């Protein structure tokens, strides 16, 4: 888990400081820094960091971080819903059960959907319980790391 966090920070730094026009180049740069990751993992990292491609105006496109690396006000509201509502998370394989405060499951599930946590395929909410399905190849640890990056200070 710790490796993923440091890798994400490295990806951000590489994109900030270099003109990178494809994933192969970025994979090579990561390899030189000691990180051997698959293209699928790198794609998930780029999605999580909200990296996009922008035109240079004449010869092609290159990766760029979002203009505003700050969290929007609406996103802050959804993050607060998640922080306020979650009491516990348990997993069995790709299926998870999130226990929430009574009446909070729906607002937490909506927040998770809007925040587009890349590890989560879908949610189903009751009154105080959310059923979570993780994407193929994702683990509980991947989701926990994503929560730590996107929703600081969450009580798991």
Share of the chain above pLDDT 70, in %: 90
Which candidate, 113, 104, 106, 112, places its Cα nearest to that of 86?
104
- The region that residue 93 occupies, defined by phi over 0 for left and psi between -120 and 50 for alpha, beta otherwise, is left
Q: Is 73-150 in the same CATH topology as 2-64? A: no
pLDDT digits (tens, 9 = 90+) for 33-55: 999 999 999 998 888 888 888 88
pTM equals 0.55
Q: pLDDT band for 70, please (50, 70, 90 cuts).
A: very low
Residue 84 CA to residue 79 CA, distance in Å, equals 9
Residue whose token pair is 């780029």? 46
Domain 2-64, CATH among 3.30.540.10, 3.40.47.10, 2.40.160.10, 1.10.10.10: 1.10.10.10
Residue 34 CA to residue 132 CA, distance in Å, equals 33
- Other Cβ atoms closer than 10 A to 86: 23
Residue 31 CA to residue 37 CA, distance in Å, equals 8
pLDDT digits (tens, 9 = 90+) for 111-154: 888 888 888 999 999 999 999 999 888 888 888 888 887 786 67
In this structure, what token pair is assigned to residue 104?
Answer: 């909070």
pLDDT at res. 117: 84
Q: pLDDT band for 97, please (50, 70, 90 cuts).
A: very high
**Statement: 73-150 belongs to CATH 3.30.1360.40:** yes
**Hey, what's the torsion of the CAs at 81, 44, 23, 9, to 10 degrees?**
50
């Amino acid at each position: 888990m710790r490796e993923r966090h440091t890798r994400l920070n490295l990806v951000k730094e590489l994109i900030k400081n270099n003109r990178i026009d494809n994933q192969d180049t970025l994979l090579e740069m990561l390899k030189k820094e000691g990180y051997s990751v698959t293209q699928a993992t790198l794609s998930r990292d780029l999605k999580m960091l909200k990296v996009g491609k922008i035109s240079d105006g004449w010869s092609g496109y290159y990766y760029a971080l979002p203009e505003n690396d700050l969290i929007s006000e609406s996103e802050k509201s959804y993050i607060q819903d998640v922080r306020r509502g979650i009491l516990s998370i348990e997993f069995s394989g790709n299926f998870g059960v999130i226990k929430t405060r009574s009446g909070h499951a729906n607002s937490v599930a909506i927040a998770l959907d809007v925040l587009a946590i890349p590890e989560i395929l879908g949610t189903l909410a009751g009154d105080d319980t959310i059923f979570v399905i993780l994407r193929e190849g994702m683990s509980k640890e991947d989701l926990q790391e994503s929560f730590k990056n996107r929703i600081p200070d969450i009580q798991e």
